[in-house]
Amino acid sequence: MEEFLRREEIPFEAEVVTIRHGGEFFEDPHLYLEEDGVVVECIVYPLQDIRRIPKSSITGRPMERADAKRLKKLIEAMKREE
């Protein structure tokens, strides 16, 4: 994902965040994109966790997820609006 964003010259910030899910700890890359003062946080999960739907630390609800294809479409739509 980071390579795609760099190639498309889309600015972003990245960090690795450790979360606890059940009794296990996971380190997931978090990417932050900003547009017009709105920050979108994207969490990149390993393929083996495709079925794991984490809960938001803010709302406690399951987080909305997007696969690479959906995320690419969202980014392309954002670029067209510029």
Write out the two tokens for 78: 């954002």
Distance CA 63, CA 81 (A): 26
Per-residue pLDDT at 19:
79
Q: How far apart are CA 17 and CA 45, in angstroms?
A: 11
- Written as tens digits, the pLDDT of the chain (82 aa) is 899 999 989 999 999 988 777 788 888 899 999 988 888 888 888 888 777 777 777 788 888 777 778 878 887 887 787 6
Alpha-carbon distance of 34 to 13, in angstroms, equals 9
Q: Looking at the whole model, is its pTM more than 0.85? A: no
Enter the tokens of residue 14.
């990245």
Domains of the chain, residue spans: 2-81
Q: Are 8 and 76 in contact (CB under 8 A)?
A: no
